[in-house]
Amino acid sequence: MSPALAVGLDRLVSDPSLSSLVAELRSSRVALLAHPASVTRDLVHALDVLRGLGVEPRVLFGPEHGWAGHAQDMIGVGDASVTGARVVSLYGERYEDLSPRREHLEGIDVLVIDLQDVGARYYTFVWTAVLVARACRDAGVRVVVLDRPNPIGGTGIEGRLQVSEFRSFVGLERVPIRHGLTLGEIVAWRAKVEGYSELVRVVRATGLEREAHATAWDRPFVMPSPNMPAYETALVYPGGCLLEGTNLSDGRGTTRPFEITGAPWLDGTRLARELAATGLRGFIVRPIAFEPTFHKHAKQTCGGVQIHVTDPSSFRPVACYVALVTLAHHAHPEQFRFRTEKYEFVDDKPAFDLLTGSAVARERIVAGDDVRAIVEHVASAGAEERSVVEEARSALVRPD
């Protein structure tokens, strides 16, 4: 029996119904946007797959963290080269560097996108794909998205839409924090809304129920970025990324990024006790001590906690980490701080506001509001959020 899941890249190799697409790519001048997780079931990279099909990409584009996936968060990456092709970085020092320039697309007929997303609006790969699709629209270049499922499933929705003026590269369009959409669905949705659907084709992943997590995949989890090493990381990330907006460690510099958090001044035992008392389900919180090797609080002993997810179906990552941040602030108001430094090309709004989608959560935390009320404000997803998700899902109506 053949494995159930076939991602878009797998299908390009093995699905006879895509033979005309393969022929089109062979006869076209092609560019490729990919990263290290752009692999088949057998871990063959998209570049090698295309070359094996007789398609030689002329330009390779790399998103945040670089084509090779080597750079840490918010580190600009320069252009490079891979045998036979130029590598253009789409993550530099300026917001303008996030989109390909017209000269990058000159002489290109089709741009193939294959990026593994994780289903959280802060994870920037989906917004790179949207920006690339818009640049292709302006240059008259066709786009083929080889889609992939999210490791945390496609049915869980959590977190409010951003207030419009709080959109940024960690949320370019208004979607819930945990949105349940694939990268291909979001690209197709924006193409439909913005009027260039005829230029975009999405090759869906097949053979997997929408609610399935990466534990149901028939393949290893390949980390799409340096601090997304495992399925368990992706599971907590829709909440864990909120730590980036604070002076709490986000676990970078440890072996369990986003699962581990703390600070030299934090009482982990108290935080664990109070977080457990919220009644949130699906996890066990354990007090720990740790010492990051780099990033926040590097080489300092920190008190903190580790989040162990015990039931992914009931675990609400956004709710869990909003509660965690609120309790850490309330317990240590003198030491706790929200990040005010420039964050993802924005220097006039605190990072926590960009991540949560407005200033309300931060202001209520600082005011000492009740943790449950703050959790409900940030993590709830109502009719408006569900409507946006359904609109995006419905954009993929054409057969691939």
Give pLDDT tens digits for 159-218.
999 999 999 999 999 999 999 999 999 999 999 999 999 999 999 999 999 999 999 999
User: What per-residue confidence (pLDDT) applies to 135?
Assistant: 98
pTM above 0.75, yes or no: yes
Overall average pLDDT of the 244-266 stretch: 98
Q: How confident is the model at residue 70 (pLDDT cuts 50, 70, 90)?
A: low
Give pLDDT tens digits for 222-243.
999 999 999 999 999 999 999 9
304 forms bridges with which residues in the sheet?
A: 262, 288
DSSP 109-135: SEEEEE----SBTT-THHHHHHHHHHH
User: What per-residue confidence (pLDDT) applies to 86?
Assistant: 87
> Within 13 Å of residue 48, how many CA atoms lie on the same side as its CB?
10
Would you say residue 397 has pLDDT above 80? Answer: no
Geometric angle at alpha carbon 149, from 69 and 210, rounded to 5°: 160
Show me where the domains of the chain are located: 8-221+386-393, 231-379
The order of strands in the sheet holding 302-309 is 260-263, 302-309, 283-290
Give pLDDT tens digits for 11-54.
999 999 999 999 999 999 999 999 999 999 999 999 999 999 99
Give pLDDT tens digits for 283-330.
999 999 999 999 999 999 999 999 999 999 999 999 999 999 999 999
346 forms bridges with which residues in the sheet?
A: 343
Bridge pairing between strands 283-290 and 302-309: antiparallel
User: What per-residue confidence (pLDDT) applies to 79?
Assistant: 55
Residues with Cβ within 8 Å of residue 150, at least 6 apart in sequence: 117, 118, 119, 180, 181, 182, 234
Would you say residue 2 has pLDDT above 50? Answer: no
What architecture is the 231-379 domain classified under in CATH? Answer: Alpha-Beta Complex (3.90)
Average pLDDT of every residue of the chain: 94
Overall average pLDDT of the 268-279 stretch: 98
Overall average pLDDT of the 278-282 stretch: 98
Would you say residue 73 has pLDDT above 60? Answer: no
Q: What's the CA gap between 50 and 378, in Å, rounded?
A: 43
Q: Which residue has the higher pLDDT, 303 or 84?
A: 303
User: What per-residue confidence (pLDDT) applies to 165?
Assistant: 97
Overall average pLDDT of the 356-374 stretch: 97
Give pLDDT tens digits for 109-139.
999 999 999 999 999 999 999 999 999 999 9
Would you say residue 81 has pLDDT above 80? Answer: no
User: What per-residue confidence (pLDDT) applies to 65?
Assistant: 83
User: What per-residue confidence (pLDDT) applies to 1?
Assistant: 35
User: Does domain 8-221+386-393 bear CATH number 3.60.20.40?
Assistant: no
Nearest CA among 400, 391, 399, 341 for reference residue 191: 391
User: What per-residue confidence (pLDDT) applies to 295?
Assistant: 92
Q: How confident is the model at residue 85 (pLDDT cuts 50, 70, 90)?
A: confident
Name the one residue in this structure whose structure tokens are 């220097």: 347
